């Protein structure tokens, strides 16, 4: 019996596997436009989607991916499950293991995803935690790869809160050998643990100056200033992050063909202006579309390796 694979962190993959995901996603994207689907990949498996956080792109893209690969998605609203009334994760996981052929989880604590993976015999996929967002970042690097062709020549600049998206961008860049800059306030900077865990920390540069890296940026990436769970800090964060808004003034000295990226949902008028997110350099909708194709490729890798 083959050993099961999970995707709990982008670091569960190596560079070769990430490029395998990219090539498979490229094929799935092409074939979907031709009306070709592969219902033998999941072979009628029921895949649970256990969500503690609201979702639009993650939920819909995973449900469609599972259906088009021949499985059946089972949406599990955590607030309606017994874990909301105190049942342990272990007991919930053991129960779900009796019914499901895999589990996609969107939650707060990274440890929760890891615990589910210990007690479920089929693949467990991290669809977002407060620490990590591997499916999103795989789709983001795939989008950059589509547009720029050679990732080794790319410089990414992330501007804003050093959150789960930023963490995973750094980890992905470390695996793929991509230079990455982070411009963020000192209070919300990249943690030492993230830096210390890098294999090649020389790929990363950090500054409090939002303008510091703009002129060398092939990709400018931002995210919301107030993530789910941080609402109590909303006013404080909005004041601190205001100089980090991605607007026409900020990108004035960027390369003319830079890509603007955002994982969405965007708070227009806060971290980004309409002129940027709707402008000619924006690839946010390609990112959103590519979630579907990359998640198909992830499912293919986990169920066929």
Residue 1 confidence (pLDDT) above 60: no
The strand pair at 219-222 and 179-183 is best described as unpaired
Is CATH 2.40.110.10 the right assignment for the domain spanning 10-133+291-304?
no
Whole-angstrom distance, CA of residue 30 vs CA of residue 39:
16
pLDDT tens, 7-58?
A: 999 999 999 999 999 999 999 999 999 999 898 999 999 999 999 999 999 9
What residues contact 100, with CB distance under 8 A and at least 6 apart? 45, 46, 47, 48, 74, 120, 122
Q: Round the average pLDDT of the chain to a whole number and report it.
A: 96
Stretch (H or E) spanning 127? strand 124-128
Q: Which ranges of the chain does DSSP label H, i.e. alpha helix?
A: 15-33, 57-68, 89-99, 110-119, 134-148, 164-176, 192-196, 234-241, 274-277, 284-304
Q: Which of 139, 143, 171, 150 is nearest to 58 (CA)?
A: 139
Whole-structure pTM value: 0.96
Q: What is the pLDDT of residue 35?
A: 94
Report domain extents, the chain: 10-133+291-304, 136-287
Q: Which two tokens stand for residue 33?
A: 């436009």
pLDDT tens, 110-157?
A: 999 999 999 999 999 999 999 999 999 999 999 999 999 999 999 999
How many residues does this entry show for the chain?
Answer: 305
SS3 string, 240-251, reads HHHHHCECCCCC
Q: pLDDT band at 228, cuts 50/70/90?
A: low
Architecture of domain 136-287: 3-Layer(aba) Sandwich (3.40)
DSSP for residue 282: B
Contacts of residues 126-129 at CB distance under 8 Å and 24 or more positions apart, as own/partner, are 126/7, 126/8, 126/9, 127/49, 127/51, 127/55, 127/58, 127/62, 128/53, 128/55, 128/58, 128/164, 129/164
Q: pLDDT band at 221, cuts 50/70/90?
A: very high
Same fold, 10-133+291-304 and 136-287: yes
Residue 68's Cα: distance from chain center in Å?
A: 21
Whole-angstrom distance, CA of residue 255 vs CA of residue 244:
18
Q: Which two tokens stand for residue 167?
A: 């963490």
């Amino acid at each position: 019996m083959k050993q099961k694979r999970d995707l709990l962190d982008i670091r569960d993959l190596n560079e070769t596997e990430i490029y395998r995901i990219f090539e498979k996603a490229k094929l799935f994207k092409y074939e979907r436009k031709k009306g070709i689907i592969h219902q033998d990949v999941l072979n009628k498996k029921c895949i649970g989607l256990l969500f503690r956080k609201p979702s639009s792109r993650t939920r819909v893209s995973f449900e469609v991916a599972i259906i088009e690969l021949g499985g059946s998605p089972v949406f599990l609203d955590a607030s309606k499950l017994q874990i909301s009334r105190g049942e342990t994760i272990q007991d919930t996981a053991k129960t779900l293991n009796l019914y499901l052929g895999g589990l996609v989880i969107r939650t707060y604590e990274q440890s929760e995803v890891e615990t589910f993976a210990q007690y479920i015999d089929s693949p467990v996929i991290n669809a977002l935690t407060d620490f990590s967002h591997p499916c999103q970042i795989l789709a983001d690097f795939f989008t950059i790869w589509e547009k720029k062709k050679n990732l080794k020549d790319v410089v990414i600049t992330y501007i804003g809160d050093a959150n789960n998206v930023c963490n995973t961008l750094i980890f992905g860049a470390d695996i793929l050998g991509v230079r990455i800059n982070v411009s963020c306030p000192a209070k919300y900077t990249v943690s030492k643990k993230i830096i210390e865990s890098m294999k090649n920390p020389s790929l990363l540069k950090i500054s409090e100056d939002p303008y510091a890296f703009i002129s060398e940026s092939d990709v400018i990436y931002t995210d919301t200033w107030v993530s789910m769970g941080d609402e109590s800090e909303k006013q404080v964060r909005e004041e601190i992050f205001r100089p980090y808004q991605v607007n026409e003034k900020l990108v004035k000295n960027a390369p003319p063909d830079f890509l603007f990226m955002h994982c969405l949902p965007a708070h227009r008028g806060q971290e980004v202006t309409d002129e940027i997110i709707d402008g000619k350099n924006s690839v946010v909708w390609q990112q959103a579309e590519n979630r579907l194709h990359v998640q198909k490729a992830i499912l293919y890798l986990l169920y066929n390796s």
